[in-house]
Amino acid sequence: MIETGQFRMSFQAIAGQEHVKRVLQNGLRSGKLSHAYIFSGPAGSGRKRTAMALVKAIYCSGGQDEACGQCLECRKLEHGNQPGLLWIEPDGASIKIEQIRELQKGMAYRSTTNDRKIYVLNEAEKMTVQAANSLLKFLEEPTSDVMAILITENGHALLPTIISRAQWLSFTPMNASRMAEILQEEGLPGSLVLPAVHLTAGVEAARELVSSNWFGEARKVMLQLAQETLANLPSAMISLQKKVIKSDLNQHLGVFIDLWILWLKDMVRLQCGQKDRLLFIDQLDWMERQANSRDSSFWIACMEQAVDMQKRIRFNANGQLTLEKWMIDLRGG
């Protein structure tokens, strides 16, 4: 079970996703909600918060298309205390058939003051084949008082027979410059906001990244390593060891390399004279000098290598060796 209190659970608090909100709030007003939904879209685009806003509005005894936030049902949900709701997360790498069986039992036994029973499957694409088949049978049963919300990054990875039994709602990543505007108006520093909005799909996720205690450090160290690699490779190798491999950043290698890829995109932009679209604008002087000391094919090749490195690290390649090899390539040209 998740801590439901971690979400601000109202449609109004969700930035963007106007289409999704309109469909669901129309359904709430007309009393014609689907018995199953697929929320498909990238992490950070507001899928979980929308699920909670929908669930809360359904249970609320006050509001109609938006929960009142005052009544007993609203407060029960805010305290993770709504017995009609089951929230399922993957158990390790997958959602297993035992979890779907538990879910079916749970739904059958649950009798609450409110008739509605709702279950949410987060990362639904991680269902095993057996789990998915078991869920399909459950979806086929004509039980009117159970609602399913399947949250997934890739709805197309679900069984077509599941897709055909649910209403599909697409969550689109929010426009990066709009996100940057919102966050900078809140007073967050542009030097962190600009890369963050390119690494996330929604305002909440970007704000969380900017506010995390390691993201600023990741940006600083990436810039230092890039500079050192081009100037003095042996000293860059020592910094890599000290500031990445043997530090907390080791836990965030994925984002660290993402930052490096964004930096390379900036180098390509500088090569093409597009200064106005830079993400690392406060580093303009040295970056411009370096960018123009090579041709654009060099920077594009570096970017391809970095994307490849990212994949290898995702598949558990040794972070240090992979990064060292990449730095040698970047130096070599």
Based on the shown chain and the rule CB under 5 A, indicate whether residue 28 belongs to the binding site for Zn ion: no
**Minimum CB–partner distance for residue 70 and Zn ion (Å):** 6
Given candidates 15, 23, 35, 62, which one binds Zn ion under the rule CB under 5 A? 62
Candidate segments 67-75, 129-137, 243-251, 252-260, binder of Zn ion by CB under 5 A: 67-75
Candidate segments 65-73, 153-161, 234-242, 270-278, binder of Zn ion by CB under 5 A: 65-73
**Rounded CA gap, 166 and 261, in Å?**
38
> Please, which of residues 141-180 interact with Zn ion by CB under 5 A?
none
**Minimum CB–partner distance for residue 171 and Zn ion (Å):** 25
Q: Select 60 or 197, whichever has its Cβ closest to Zn ion.
A: 60
Q: Select 42 or 62, whichever has its Cβ closest to Zn ion.
A: 62
Given candidates 20, 38, 74, 183, which one binds Zn ion under the rule CB under 5 A? 74
Among 132, 130, 133, 82, CA closest to 106: 82
**Minimum CB–partner distance for residue 61 and Zn ion (Å):** 6
Q: Select 68 or 163, whichever has its Cβ closest to Zn ion.
A: 68
**Rounded CA gap, 11 and 15, in Å?**
9
**Minimum CB–partner distance for residue 83 and Zn ion (Å):** 16
Candidate segments 19-27, 66-74, 136-144, 225-233, binder of Zn ion by CB under 5 A: 66-74
Asked if 139 and 162 touch (Cβ cutoff 8 Å), the reply is yes
Token output for 191: 């030097």
Q: Select 73 or 228, whichever has its Cβ closest to Zn ion.
A: 73
Candidate segments 55-63, 97-105, 218-226, 309-317, binder of Zn ion by CB under 5 A: 55-63
**Minimum CB–partner distance for residue 30 and Zn ion (Å):** 19
Strands across the sheet containing 167-170:
85-88, 117-121, 146-152, 36-40, 167-170
Among 170, 111, 114, 102, CA closest to 138: 102
Asked if 139 and 166 touch (Cβ cutoff 8 Å), the reply is yes
Lay out the site mask for Zn ion across 269-288 (x = CB under 5 A, - = otherwise): --------------------
SS3 36: strand
Lay out the site mask for Zn ion across 75-114 (x = CB under 5 A, - = otherwise): ----------------------------------------
Dmax over Cα atoms in the chain, in whole Å? Answer: 71
Based on the shown chain and the rule CB under 5 A, indicate whether residue 68 belongs to the binding site for Zn ion: yes
**Rounded CA gap, 124 and 114, in Å?**
26
Given candidates 60, 158, 179, 262, which one binds Zn ion under the rule CB under 5 A? 60
Asked if 176 and 279 touch (Cβ cutoff 8 Å), the reply is no
**Rounded CA gap, 2 and 307, in Å?**
33
Candidate segments 9-17, 73-81, 187-195, 323-331, binder of Zn ion by CB under 5 A: 73-81
Based on the shown chain and the rule CB under 5 A, indicate whether residue 55 belongs to the binding site for Zn ion: no
Among 145, 107, 123, CA closest to 51: 123
**Torsion angle, CA of 74/77/79/80, rounded to 10 degrees?**
180
**Rounded CA gap, 256 and 279, in Å?**
15
Given candidates 2, 23, 43, 71, which one binds Zn ion under the rule CB under 5 A? 71
Residue written as tokens 């018995």? Answer: 35
Q: Select 67 or 166, whichever has its Cβ closest to Zn ion.
A: 67
Asked if 48 and 208 touch (Cβ cutoff 8 Å), the reply is no
Which residues of this chain interact with Zn ion, rule CB under 5 A? 60, 62, 67-68, 71, 74
